[in-house]
Amino acid sequence: MAERIRARAFASRERLLAAGFPGDPHTGILFTEQHHEEAFENFANDEPCPVLDPATGTCDLYGARPVQCRTFGPPVRDEDNHLTVCELCFTHASLEDVARCEMDQSWRGLEDKLITQAEADPANAGPTLIAFALTR
């Protein structure tokens, strides 16, 4: 399975680079120039995650998936305390239904601590995409 994931990650990386990756193409670090954040807004929205099995659509790294993947979809509070949700989820749910599904984010303090520790390691030089993280 690891080789299949790696092959998909390498193919994804090549497509992302060809699409104008908004970052350093050698390191995979995002946002290395000021205009990159704006360029990322709609970048690669059609690129499937390379760890999703193309036949089943399930995550081959589910048990070890990153926090970003663990928190994508469920209703969460943003920095302005607004309840936000993935536009692909809860499409016909009432506001009350969405609110009942709000994700408990009491773990955010631990996440901040772990991110600080990870960023102290020179090998973790900045944000990237999973296709780049898996093809280092």
Residues 112-133 have pLDDT tens digits of 898 888 888 887 778 889 899 8
Q: What pLDDT is recorded for position 95?
A: 87
User: Which residues, 6+ apart, have CB-to-CB distance to 48 below 8 Å?
Assistant: 12, 54
**pTM, full prediction:** 0.71
- Three-state secondary-structure class, residue 50: coil
pLDDT category, 104, cuts 50, 70, 90? confident
Which DSSP state fits 104? Answer: P
88 pLDDT above the threshold of 70: no
The overall average pLDDT reported for the chain is 88
pLDDT category, 108, cuts 50, 70, 90? confident
Q: What pLDDT is recorded for position 115?
A: 83
- How much is the average pLDDT of 80-86? 85
Contact of 86 with 73, CB cutoff 8 Å: yes
Q: What pLDDT is recorded for position 50?
A: 94
Report how far residue 21's alpha carbon sits from residue 128's, in angstroms, rounded to the nearest whole number: 10
CB atoms within 10 A of CB 9: 21
- Three-state secondary-structure class, residue 102: coil
Segment (H or E) for 83: strand 83-84
